[in-house]
Amino acid sequence: MSLGFIRNRINSPAFLIFVAMLLIYPATERKVQTGIWHLWNGDTIRFQEYDINVPTNWVAVTDDPKHIGLVDVKRSYWRDQLHPTIVFFKTFPLQGEVKDMTSKFHDEYLKSINAQVFDHRTVDLDGEQIDCEASNVLVSQLPVPNDSIITITCESTTGLNIISSGNRQNLDTFFSVVSQIRKHTD
C-alpha cells in the first residue's frame, strides 16, 4: 500500500464520519440505547392488567411474566454503582385485620432498625388505591449516608406491589410513573 492511498482514505468523508462516531458514541451511548429501546418497544409496557409508562432514559426488563422492572440507565447513585429501579409484581391483597397486623409489624420493624420514613402517599389507579411509603429501610444498617438511597414500597387494594430504590431525586419520577398506571381497556 502506498502512502498516497492511505492519505486519500484518511481524508475521505466516510473515514472522518467513522472517527467522529467513535469519539461521540461513548458520550451518547446510553441515550442511543434507550432511544432504540423506546423506538422498538414504545413508551408503555404491559404488566398483567396494567399499562405502565416507561419514562425517557428508562428501559423495562420483562424477562419474567411474574414481575417487570424499570431501570433508569442514565442516572446512577452511590458511587455510580446502582441505577434507580422500579419493580412491579402481584401478590394476594391483604385486607382487614391481617393488613392492620402486618402494618403494625412493619412499623415496629422500621423503628427497630432506626429507619426513617420520608413520605407517605396514596395514589388512585383507575379506581383502586395504592398506598406508598418512602424510607431509608435498605440503607439504615449500612455505612452509607441514611438519605443517600431511599426505598419506596407500595401496595394496592388489588395486590399490585411496587418496590423502588433510588435517591430522593427519583421520588417525583416514581410518583409520576405510579400515577400514570392504567388498567387495560381490552
How far is 107 from 53, CA to CA, in rounded Å? Answer: 31
Helices (H), the chain: 3-10, 13-41, 96-112, 171-179
Q: What is the pLDDT of residues 148-174, one digit of tens each?
A: 678 888 988 888 999 898 877 778 888
How far is 107 from 184, CA to CA, in rounded Å? Answer: 34
Q: What is the pLDDT of residues 125-143, one digit of tens each?
A: 888 888 898 888 877 666 6
Domains of the chain: 1-42 (no CATH), 43-183 (3.40.1000.10)
How far is 24 from 75, CA to CA, in rounded Å? Answer: 19
Question: What pLDDT shows up at residue 88?
Answer: 92
Q: Are 161 and 154 in contact (CB under 8 A)?
A: yes
pTM, two decimals, is 0.74
173: left (phi over 0), alpha (psi -120 to 50) or beta: alpha
Q: What is the pLDDT of residues 16-71, one digit of tens each?
A: 676 666 565 555 566 677 778 778 888 888 998 899 999 888 888 888 888 999 98
